[in-house]
Amino acid sequence: MQSQIISAIEDSIHATTTLKSASSVEFIEETSNLIAETFTNGNKIIIAGNGGSLCDAQHFAEELTGFFRKSRKALPAIALSEPGHITCVGNDLGFAHIFSRGVEAYGKPGDIFIGLTTSGNSENIINAMETAKNNGLKTIAFLGKDGGKLLGFADLELHIQGFSTSDRIQEAHMAAIHIIIEMVEYILFNTGKSHEKIGETLALAK
């Protein structure tokens, strides 16, 4: 069993190491700057996912409405996870519409919708992405496997390739989320310059 444990640990490390690719670092930089700019402009982010990805969406939101590494003002982020909403919409319209309805309810032009789907084929995330674009929101996708139907659809996307199971993809997603939150705090609160570019800072991690 120990050899299996070591193998699993190495696989997990490999998943996170994919974030050192040029495309992933660029995604983290652009996403961090976009989120920071969105908050500076008085807008918010809305996040959604299914299963473990919903837990990651909640984690993402609470690190912003609470705080991550610094004591600072709360930042507006909503995870679409409220049971009453999900069961109401799921019962009346179908599970495919639980997130698009949430985006319609809360989203305003200038906000960001972030969808997490390891397959890229989650119908409720696809519908929410389309609703977000139709309502003037920026869109960010966290994808895996072959990217699915959402590949190339969002304004920004992180595509974790080379893993057949969702757990490894989600581990890389969560590492990226933590780094993005760290960079957003750096942009907004460490320097006082909301639009500071962070490519050099991220490059140090390569």
Whether the predicted pLDDT of 199 surpasses 80: no
Q: Does residue 186 carry a pLDDT above 80? A: yes
Answer yes or no: are the C-beta atoms of 145 and 163 closer than 8 Å. yes
pLDDT at 70: 77
* Strand runs labelled E in 32-137: 45-49, 77-79, 112-116
* Number of helical H runs and strand E runs in the chain: 8, 5
At residue 71, the pLDDT reads: 87
Residue 191: is its pLDDT beyond 60?
A: no
Domain range for 143: 2-203
Tally of structural domains, the chain = 1
Do 43 and 110 touch, CB atoms closer than 8 A?
Answer: yes
> Going by C-beta distance under 8 Å and a sequence separation of 6 or more, which residues neighbour residue 38?
44, 45, 110, 111, 112, 138
pLDDT value for 190: 83
How far apart are the C-alpha atoms of 200 and 25, rounded to whole Å? 10
CB 79 within 8 A of CB 48: yes
pLDDT tens digit string along 108-129? 999 999 999 999 999 999 999 9
CA–CA distances in Å: residue 193 to residues 31, 78, 148, 189: 16, 25, 37, 8
Instruction: Supply the CATH number for residue 10's domain.
Output: 3.40.50.10490
Predicted model pTM? 0.90
